[in-house]
Structure 1
């Protein structure tokens, strides 16, 4: 098993051996790619990296470290999640989740959400994506590609994590509350 670590300011992704915690290698990216969130497609040996800086989604080969493909989505791209043959990418500028075909990088659809969607999490059992926004958490049914439910909050949700065993959601906020 491998651990993948984004090195935002170093424009790279470190690959760590899980058992020894030794760095096996580092994928050096172009100077315009700042990896923050990313997802790994082990079957295709690709890493998908949304750029917060230039609104581009990159497909990078894990073995060679070369950019295989890219698509300009625009805006401030943040979190990314892969489900079957689709990529779900949050765009903080357009307040939306873009759904993109992972093989062709062609757009499938877009779902509008509330302000500044950022660090979302997937609930495997109910097949829903929980998206934290500035004053809400939006729950997306990924099979129907639609909003299932929206919960208004009085805090600025930034990242969230789901504990499926306890059926709890843990939220960190943008303002540290």
Structure 2
């Protein structure tokens, strides 16, 4: 049994060695340990800068929508029937408060591309925002059209996700 365990361990190390060899061959400059973690570490601040404004707006919209729905007729009726406040908040109020959030969040995806121009210039990142600005400055029509196409596709994807979110949040919504 001891020799069979050794052969299994050797087989596992052989597979790991093959994976490392494949990574070295396909990697070009060679395998750099910790590259992914370093990249993630340096992208934390730009991601926070891009997402902070959208999240702040969504939080403000959530608060106002929940406060508005807490005083609505169906919440008062549920309280009068003796439903617990926790159930009223999570089952009734929050589901109806999600609809404006879903509407606004559909436009957040393409707006990240517009906001990335500033963040990319602050953090010296070569990205889509900087590419779009340079394409406009150099009057590269094809590149401007490509960036516009990608922005349009992101808008369509946001609207599609919003429609799916509507169907999940409100069971009365049906698409025929």
Report the TM-score when normalising by structure 1: 0.20
Higher strand proportion, which one?
1
Q: Which of these two proteins has the greater Rg computed from alpha carbons?
A: 2
Report the TM-score when normalising by structure 2: 0.20
Higher helix proportion, which one?
2
